[in-house]
């Protein structure tokens, strides 16, 4: 049963994906049972079912077609504009993991972020909890996006947008803005790689004081599958790793998750771990800091091999690319040899290097027999200026890397379709610049040789004219006859001498 409250959109269906994923599901599991929950905005059906388990749930959607598609039982669906939400219904928890951007329709007032938060606050009971996600308009996902936020690319972009919206632009400002609205923040975390479906969640304190090398590798690993075969301005993996390593992991994260409460409680309803990682196959891992300052992993869901000390070091793929760009052949051989000796079937994006020690970043990730070929594919197609510019074929470059690693035979499998790198426009531009430089050099050479050829042709023409002039003169004929007589006399003298 759908309740229409006004301002609903009868024909429009949301075009962008809803919020969801295993990390959000993990946080939802901490909610108490038997409470009243309001889910505001598009959320994945699996997440709605998880919230509705032993809880009374109301779902607010502006799109009537989307509201009619909700199949979760025991969920009250309210369709309409956020501004039409009355104060008569109060809830223990309001969940807005999709943010506040898809709650208003053209039929009603366009509430900004602060006004939407005030509506959420009015819907909370005293002591209630608000779970809200906020997109970072200066996050890595925006920095690598070829499009501009001021251009309408979806059907819901009817409201003119300037350069930026009204949401807070930093995690500390987000906490301050919620606190100013009477919703003190009990927990705050940055999410990677996309705000609607994160696979890495970490608190700003972890990004500031935690194991930056391991976190940068985790951020790079989280970003890689999200941008597979997508067109981007620059490599999001490198940008994410650099942001985390330089202490900007929270500031340049694609989004933030805030747990705010209408009144201070002794204990937090939804605790946020220092870091939470979603791996392949539904595995979940938490990062835990021990009293001695070291960091370890704890398997929340998945194989027990995920539990153990967190390895240190930098990502092998970054080290290899750095050595290749610097034409550091001894360093490149050392890294390749250590990799192929210790972990030959582990992709370079899943290996941490600390001195001569090579360790897996994610033990649950599957092995790949074509790990070296995959790195050769990255090096050949990523626009990197490696020491072998004449080798453009991936198979040949794999043979070269295998020889540098001391292997007698190179792995033959190549990366399969659907597992390629992002389509990086900046690297395309660099490749075009290299081609332009080569063409300009070739044109200069052609002009030089044309000038030289013109000079030689002019000299040859003058020589032909001189030869023709000399061959038709009386002196030339007399000299030629004299030369013939001299040769005949020389021959006679030689013949007499032999007799």
Query: Is residue 418 predicted with pLDDT exceeding 50?
Result: no
pLDDT 10s digits, 317-347: 999 999 998 999 999 999 999 999 999 999 9
| pLDDT, averaged across the chain | 86
Region at 370 (left for phi over 0; alpha for psi -120 to 50; beta for the rest): alpha
Q: What is the mean pLDDT of residues 62-76?
A: 90
Classify 198 as helix, strand or coil.
coil
Please work out, in degrees rounded to the nearest 5, the angle formed at the alpha carbon of residue 255 by the alpha carbons of 17 and 207: 140
Classify 91 as helix, strand or coil.
strand
Region at 80 (left for phi over 0; alpha for psi -120 to 50; beta for the rest): left
- Report helix angle 113-123 to 171-180, nearest 10: 50
d(CA 167, CA 111): 11
Domains of the chain, residue spans? 2-151+165-309, 314-421, 433-481
Query: Is residue 305 predicted with pLDDT exceeding 50?
Result: yes
d(CA 327, CA 493): 74
> 220 with 349: CB under 8 angstroms?
yes
What pLDDT is attached to residue 110?
A: 85
Query: Of 48, 38, 47, 46, which is closest to residue 5 (Cα–Cα)?
Result: 38
State how far the alpha carbon of 339 is from the alpha carbons of 143, 367, 390, 398, in Å: 33, 13, 25, 14
The CATH T-level fold of domain 2-151+165-309 is Rossmann fold (3.40.50)
What pLDDT is attached to residue 96?
A: 96
Query: Is residue 311 predicted with pLDDT exceeding 60?
Result: yes
What pLDDT is attached to residue 149?
A: 65
Query: Is residue 459 predicted with pLDDT exceeding 50?
Result: yes
pLDDT 10s digits, 387-406: 888 887 888 898 999 999 98
Query: Is residue 495 predicted with pLDDT exceeding 60?
Result: yes
Classify 48 as helix, strand or coil.
helix
Q: What is the mean pLDDT of residues 36-45?
A: 95
pLDDT 10s digits, 201-260: 999 999 999 999 899 999 998 998 888 878 888 888 889 999 999 999 999 999 999 999
What pLDDT is attached to residue 243?
A: 93
d(CA 200, CA 210): 14
What pLDDT is attached to residue 416?
A: 47
Give 429's contacts (C-beta < 8 A, 6+ positions apart).
none
Query: Is residue 352 predicted with pLDDT exceeding 80?
Result: yes
Residue percentage of the chain with pLDDT more than 90: 47
Query: Of 180, 8, 2, 40, which is closest to residue 120 (Cα–Cα)?
Result: 40
Query: Is residue 469 predicted with pLDDT exceeding 60?
Result: yes
DSSP helix, strand, coil percent of the chain (3-state; round to 5): 40, 20, 40
Residue percentage of the chain with pLDDT more than 70: 90
Q: What is the mean pLDDT of residues 419-445?
A: 77
What pLDDT is attached to residue 417?
A: 46
Dihedral pair phi/psi, residue 236, rounded to 5°? -70, -25
More confident: 491 or 208: 208
- E strand segments, 216-331: 231-232, 255-261, 275-278, 284-289, 295-301, 308-309, 314-315
Query: Is residue 472 predicted with pLDDT exceeding 90?
Result: no
Classify 84 as helix, strand or coil.
helix
What pLDDT is attached to residue 450?
A: 93
pLDDT band for position 133 (cuts 50, 70, 90): very high
Classify 251 as helix, strand or coil.
coil
d(CA 143, CA 252): 9
Kind of pairing between the strands at 231-232 and 423-424: parallel
Q: Considering all CA atoms of the chain, what is the largest pairwise distance in Å, rounded to the nearest integer? A: 142
């Amino acid at each position: 049963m759908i309740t229409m409250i006004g301002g609903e959109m009868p024909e429009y269906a949301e075009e962008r994906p809803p919020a969801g994923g295993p990390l959000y599901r993990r946080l939802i599991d901490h909610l108490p049972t038997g409470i009243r929950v309001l889910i505001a905005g598009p959320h994945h059906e699996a997440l709605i079912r998880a919230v509705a388990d032993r809880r009374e749930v109301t779902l607010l959607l502006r799109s009537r077609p989307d509201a009619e598609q909700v199949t979760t039982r025991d969920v009250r669906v309210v369709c309409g504009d956020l501004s039409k939400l009355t104060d008569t219904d109060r809830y223990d928890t309001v969940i807005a993991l999709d943010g506040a951007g898809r709650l208003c329709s053209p039929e009603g007032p366009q509430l900004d972020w602060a006004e939407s938060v005030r509506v959420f606050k009015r819907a909370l009971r005293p002591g209630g909890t608000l779970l809200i996600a906020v997109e970072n308009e200066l996050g890595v996902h925006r920095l690598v996006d070829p499009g501009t936020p001021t251009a309408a690319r979806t059907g819901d972009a009817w409201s003119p947008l300037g350069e930026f919206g009204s949401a807070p632009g930093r995690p500390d400002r987000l906490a301050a803005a919620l606190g100013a609205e009477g919703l003190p923040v009990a927990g705050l975390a940055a999410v990677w790689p996309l705000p609607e479906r994160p696979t890495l969640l970490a608190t700003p304190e972890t990004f500031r004081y935690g194991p930056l090398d391991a976190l940068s590798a985790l951020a790079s690993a989280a970003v890689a599958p999200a941008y597979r075969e997508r067109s981007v301005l620059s490599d999001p993996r490198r940008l994410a790793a650099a942001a985390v390593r330089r202490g900007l992991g929270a500031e340049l994260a694609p989004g933030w998750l805030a747990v705010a409460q209408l009144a201070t409680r002794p204990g937090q309803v939804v605790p946020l771990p220092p870091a939470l990682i979603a791996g392949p196959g539904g595995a979940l891992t938490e990062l835990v800091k021990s009293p001695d300052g070291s960091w370890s992993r704890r398997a929340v869901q998945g194989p027990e091999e995920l539990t153990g000390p967190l390895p240190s070091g930098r990502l092998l793929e970054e080290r290899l690319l750095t050595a290749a760009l610097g034409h550091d052949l001894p360093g490149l051989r050392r890294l390749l040899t250590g990799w192929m000796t210790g972990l030959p079937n582990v992709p370079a994006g899943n290996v941490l290097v600390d001195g001569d020690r090579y360790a897996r970043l994610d033990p649950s990730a599957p092995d790949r027999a074509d790990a070296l070929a995959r790195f050769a594919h990255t090096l050949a197609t990523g626009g990197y200026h490696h020491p072998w510019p004449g080798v453009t074929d991936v198979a040949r470059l794999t043979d070269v890397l295998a020889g540098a690693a001391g292997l007698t035979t190179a792995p033959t499998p190549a990366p399969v379709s659907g597992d390629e790198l992002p389509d990086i426009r900046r690297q395309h531009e660099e490749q075009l610049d290299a081609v332009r430089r080569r063409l300009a050099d070739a044109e200069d050479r052609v002009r030089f040789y044309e000038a030289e050829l013109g000079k030689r042709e002019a000299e040859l023409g003058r020589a032909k004219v001189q030869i023709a002039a000399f061959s038709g003169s009386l002196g030339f004929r007399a000299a030629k006859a004299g030369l013939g007589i001299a040769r005949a006399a020389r021959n006679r003298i030689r013949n007499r001498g032999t007799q």
